Amino acid sequence: MSIHHLLSFVEKEHGPIDIFFANAGVLSTGGVEVTNEEWQKIWDVNTMQVVHVARHLFPLFEQRRKGFLVVTASAAGLASMPGAMPYAVTKHAAVAAAEWLAFTYRNRGVHVSCLCPQAVRTDMIGSTDGGPAGIDGILDPNDVARVTIEGVQRGDFMIMPHAQVQGYMVSKVQNYNRWVKGMSRIVDEFANFIPPPSRL
């Protein structure tokens, strides 16, 4: 069932959708060697889900002058992700899509939030310690949910369950050269880390 048909079914059977969580996400590890087919699959899930949902729901939200979209991106969409180029790139694109929708529809009664956690104890990290994403600890899904709800209630655009991420972003913007050097050290530090397999 396509997203369009799913949303149409829910609206018909259960009434208007007030808030939608674009929470689908898949992990693809590796770098330039990742196949075009795998790139397309992760792009379709991690990035294009936002476009498909907005294409269907935002005209309805506009008509009602209310509606809320929460895009689950990742801290990888802000500060990249060593060892997982497709994941980092598609999550950057998801953040960009959320930003564009937020400022374009802000004055039309539609609100967008962007959720950017680091490692969360889900199947995505498997039995690992999270590798580079787990540097600042692995959060329980219930804690991430609580922080997300609080952010939505405040009307926040950017929701960062790991407080350290904001500092990383400030550092990145202030000095990109220093940030690249720092990330390269993380690559070296986790050179022997075996990431969970791609989930495609």
Q: Residue 54, Cβ neighbours under 10 Å: how many?
A: 23
Catalytic choice (87, 105, 168, 176): 87
- The DSSP symbol for 65 reads T
The whole-angstrom separation of Cα 74 and Cα 91 is 6
Q: Which two tokens stand for residue 144?
A: 């991430």
The whole-angstrom separation of Cα 154 and Cα 135 is 28
CA atoms within 13 A on the CB side of 86: 25
Known catalytic residue: 87?
yes
- The DSSP symbol for 131 reads G
- CB-count burial class (<10 Å; 0-12, 13-18, 19+) for 81: buried
Active site members: 87
